[in-house]
Chains A and B, each alone.
Chain A
Amino acid sequence: MRNLLNLKTMVVSTIAMTSLMFSLTATSVENEVATLRDQTKIIEQQKPNLIPKVVNKDIKQGRNYPMQPPIIPHTIRSYEVNKYNNKCMSCHSRQLTEESQAPMVSVTHYMNRDGNFLAEISPRRYFCNQCHVTQLDTKELVENTFIDMHTMMKQKPSKASQH
């Protein structure tokens, strides 16, 4: 009788434990992973967002700070920049800007780290897209609170005068 009772409690507790574990893992997976996937359940496929268009106006855009690498104002779809080729340089290199009327890459890009000028673009500046990017015609994903230093300098005296 006692053995039977033991067996019964064991079975019940095992079932309880497994169901608890299942519910625990299920909820944790759903909650944690789903948040990363924008509240979409793991078994569901989220509808992808629309892909915004690349700004292709060919008009120079201002720089937010002096050291900002200029942004690319045109599409660069399937422009190859790899160990064989650099498509960007077929317009922006020193020899080809006359024909293309594109801005020449800064002369610093021809300098090696010792400050000597090379005939070709320096290997350390070779991969254009490490710094230069295109812009998308879309809303900002997060709010941008960046303030240009000139704007900041203009604000300062007006604030001081208030006090």
Chain B
Amino acid sequence: MTMKRLLILTWQTLTKPSGYYSLGFLVMGGFIAGIIFWGGFNTALEVTNTEEFCISCHEMENNVYQELKTTIHFTNRSGVRATCPDCHVPHKWTDKIARKMQASKEVWAMLFGTIDTREKFLAHRRQLAQNEWTRLKANDSLECRNCHNFDYMDFTEQSERAANQHSGALASGEKTCIDCHKGIAHQLPDMKGVEGW
């Protein structure tokens, strides 16, 4: 009963005009509070968008991170490297929020230990990989293209085979990066039935 009364009181307070505070104070106060809340939200979001955050879970650190370490996306001649969110989180804000909402399921899986051993992880690997392939196929390998811009690719610097593929199937839009470049940053699942394998 008291709960209901409290709710009614809150509603009445919110719907009535303020009797004490000036309009200027409320507007300015709301504006400043908005900045603080928005800044806080964005900071928290960006914290979850770092490699340190990703590998703070052992599922990530012991499986995918260890595999990434041996690849060219981790260490190479020029020292430019990709961290987890560079490839796995869209850079555009709306897409990023959509992906973060999807990731809430991953928090659930983490809490209930869906892939908390190497064996469980390997058993789920095909499905996990498939999710990423589907996403990259749907957005035309957007996360690859954030760094690897087709317009600035120098085919003369590539091997003949690579140049043929890139100036042919990729240029015509018939294929996208992920169609050929699967398993470049992590080990592959069992590829039985995947096109081109």
Once the chains bind, are A78 and B160 in contact (CB under 8 Å)?
no
Q: Which residues of B contact A58 (CB under 8 A)?
A: 159-161
Q: Which residues of B contact A23 (CB under 8 A)?
A: none
Once the chains bind, are B70 and A85 in contact (CB under 8 Å)?
no
A84 interface residue per 8 A CB criterion: yes
Using CB atoms, name the residue of chain A closest to B185.
Answer: A78
Q: Evaluate whether A74 and B71 lie within 8 angstroms (CB atoms) in the complex, with A85-B190, A96-B196 already known.
A: no
The main secondary structure of chain A at its interface with chain B is loop
The main secondary structure of chain B at its interface with chain A is loop
Once the chains bind, are B159 and A85 in contact (CB under 8 Å)?
no
Once the chains bind, are B197 and A85 in contact (CB under 8 Å)?
yes
Q: Evaluate whether A84 and B190 lie within 8 angstroms (CB atoms) in the complex, with A74-B161, A90-B196 already known.
A: yes
A80 interface residue per 8 A CB criterion: yes
Query: Could you say which of A84, A90, A96 contacts B189, with CB atoms under 8 Å apart?
Result: A84
Q: Which 5 A-B pairs have the closest CB atoms?
A: A84-B190, A85-B191, A85-B188, A90-B197, A56-B159
Seed contacts A78-B72, A80-B183; 5 additional CB < 8 Å A-B pairs: A58-B161, A74-B159, A74-B161, A85-B191, A89-B197
Once the chains bind, are A78 and B196 in contact (CB under 8 Å)?
no
A139 interface residue per 8 A CB criterion: no
Query: Could you say which of A77, A80, A89, A90 contacts B72, with CB atoms under 8 Å apart?
Result: A77
